[in-house]
Structure 1
């Protein structure tokens, strides 16, 4: 695993290792999207990762998706996130904010304005989501007009500027896992007949224009994007031209000089190699159900430059040190993933704390 502990660069950052903390929803914000006082502690505890990527953070009121998920579209949210960036930097860490527009995965009860969700087309996700009233079906979304599409692109631009104002080192655009950008890419969620729907060049257009707007605003060296080719979350399906769409998309994104592409990968290594060949900057690869003993393989084989870690990072604030020393890992408690409060959030012990408790 030596390859994981060699330094590298990412945009204008120097990373001490090739491990990143993957974005994971933890839902520790207020109903109006303001991160709680626990959030700076949580991220600062994990500052030894080469890069931290926050949970999905809404770029606008329409982008809010889940109960108690954070936003970055008003002054109160910016002020709260400043405390997070300051805490991480005080521990020597580096942190990107993930910008996530939920699109049709949202529910009116989980937003501040209680309006119906928006999407490329008026096609329901038919998914169950949790709301203050309990589990509910995601409603029929309103199809974005062309003017709405342009406003949503600008919302991402403004959110990126807000993240940098809050002290973040950069932003990751969430183009994966069933959310708005992914909905534009998917042929069964996007049946538009304008320049944002139909052939692959059109379905990819929204993702490219969001990435360009963000890169123009904060710099390509501060901009990454997450993609999930072939991952059928949120009722999405890429369609028969899915692989070709992602080859085209990554080739076009490469022209923007972004800091990285982050692939949430579910097993088509042939496509992953094709995307690697089309991408000039750093590639992050998160694999589903990867055993710990295989964590370094993608870096060793040249398929990835950096390896994001999810549940292991959640339960082990000192995961980097544990992996390097071969120490046992804490087990994550799923009952606390989205429960709010400190339990299962900032109380997982480090090796040093565990040793002190035994002594």
Structure 2
């Protein structure tokens, strides 16, 4: 845990479980929708992640633990042998490049569509996602999800556990359980999406129960030192509203603290009173992503590559800092920030999601940029 009075440099080494990290920069999970048919990771994905292996830690993109958990088209999974072998290409490439990689496990809950998964989505309550959802044929109307039975909740816990074992079998150094940003586990936490009256709804103790049981099961299966958790207090994306976040999130951390997890990852973190309170309650490694939940994805990368925000959240008590879009456009982000070199901007002519190598693996590193300038 960081002592706020002596916050370390972003480029100082850190320890995470049994791993030594060469710096405190984390590439967070970011879906890019480039998996092959059947949710199988590809050699192009392996190249993309290997290019960014200088990050202290990579948390690879959200992967579904089962068929009904798929969110959007061309999202990878981690529940079939073919998916495991695809992810092994990725982890081998990252390790060969000297990096370290966890894999995020995400169940979409109500964020899903039969056109994508072939199934009606499952959720804590039959409340549809507001707005629209991306499907293979374009924008679609979100279906009303089917309320999960207790048996389906138990089965889903088993699916998360099996997915975690598969991730380790695929060579990942650990997994991140995704309970943020409006997906299934976050839906159980939020009052706007969980209207249940059984043991998984109503009170704070009941609404945190599913997350606690998933994390406990995953940690028991692969070891707590290989298990991280992502939360997003204050993020309203995907129709999430929570009128008791200042009570619920501390209660959740208190329930999980005895497990000794590898880390807690807070998305859209800012030095708020709630952040300070969660930092005091969490005695393990804290990863903070200092993005603004209201910022559009098309917003430009800061001229400093996010260095100012990263140092600010380190000063507020984070141990590691996750920067998203800067890592998309800058495979060598660590070196650029360390040396003060200019950063690449996001290519506005290409979508972030889907496609091939363009805007994915073709961003230049410093040597390429220098060569191009010399030739010009």
TM-score, length of structure 2 as denominator length: 0.92
Question: Which residue number in structure 2 is paired with residue 102 of structure 1?
Answer: 108
Question: Greater shift after overlay, 262-271 or 126-135?
Answer: 262-271
**Structure 2 CA distance, aligned partners of 1:16 and 1:292?**
17
**Count of residue pairs the alignment pairs up:** 355
Task: Tell me the CA shift for residue 255 of structure 1.
Answer: 1.4
CA apart distance, 1:251: 1.3
Find 1:33's aligned residue among 39, 55, 71. Answer: 39
Tell whether the 8 Å contact from 2:290 to 2:313 is kept in structure 1 after alignment: no
Residues 175-216 of structure 1: per-residue CA shift (max 9 Å, x gap): 000000000000111111111101001000000100001000
Shift of 1:126: 1.9
Q: Does structure 2 conserve the Cα–Cα contact (< 8 Å) formed by 1:190 and 1:197?
A: yes
For 1:259-270, list aligned pairs within 5 A.
Answer: 259-265=262-268, 267=270, 269-270=272-273
Partner of 1:123: 127
Distance 1:268 1:104 in 2: 31
1:267: how far off?
4.0
Query: Which residue is equivalent to 2:356?
Result: 341
CA distance in 2, matches of 1:9, 1:77: 29
Residue 139 (1) aligns with residue 143 (2): yes
What are the ranges of 5 or more consecutive residues in structure 1 without an aligned counterpart?
none
Matched, 1:200 2:214: no
Residue 336 of structure 1, CA deviation? 2.8
1:242-276 CA-to-partner distances (Å, cap 9, x unmatched) read: 21000100111111110100001354610001101
Q: 2:282: which partner in 1?
A: 279
Residue 358 of structure 1: how far off its partner (Å): 3.0
TM superposition shift of 1:294: 2.9
Given that 2:25 and 2:334 are in contact with CA atoms closer than 8 Å, whether structure 1 keeps it comes out as: yes
Q: Which runs of 5+ in 2 are unaligned?
A: 1-6, 293-301
Aligned to 1:77: 83
Kept after mapping to 2: 8 A contact 1:126/1:139: no
CA distance in 2, matches of 1:233, 1:253: 25
Partner of 2:341: 327
CA distance in 2, matches of 1:280, 1:186: 25
**Can you list the C-alpha shifts for 1:206-238, whole angstroms capped at 9, x where unaligned?**
001000010000000000000001211111111
**TM-score calculated relative to the size of structure 1:** 0.96
Alignment of 1:1-359 (within 5 A): 3-111=9-117, 114-239=118-243, 241-265=244-268, 267=270, 269-289=272-292, 292-301=307-316, 303-334=317-348, 335-359=350-374
Cα distance in 2 between the residues matched to 1:271 and 1:124: 29
Q: Give the C-alpha shift of residue 137 in structure 1.
A: 1.7
Distance 2:102 2:85 in 1: 16
8 Å contact 1:186–1:237 — kept in the other structure?
A: yes
Q: Distance in 1 between matches of 2:335 and 2:73?
A: 33
Q: Deviations over 1:298-335 (max 9, x none)?
A: 2234x200000100000000000000000000001253
Pairwise CA distance, 1:109 = 0.9
Q: Write out per-residue CA displacement over residues 277-313 of structure 1, whole angstroms, 9 at most, x where no aligned residue.
A: 1111100111124854232122234x20000010000
Where do 4+ consecutive residues of structure 1 move more than 4 Å? Answer: none
Tell me if structure 2 keeps the 8 A contact 1:231–1:266. no
Distance in 1 of aligned mates of 2:195 and 2:155: 20
For the aligned residue pairs, the C-alpha RMSD in angstroms reads: 1.4
Change (3 A) 1:224 1:2: closer
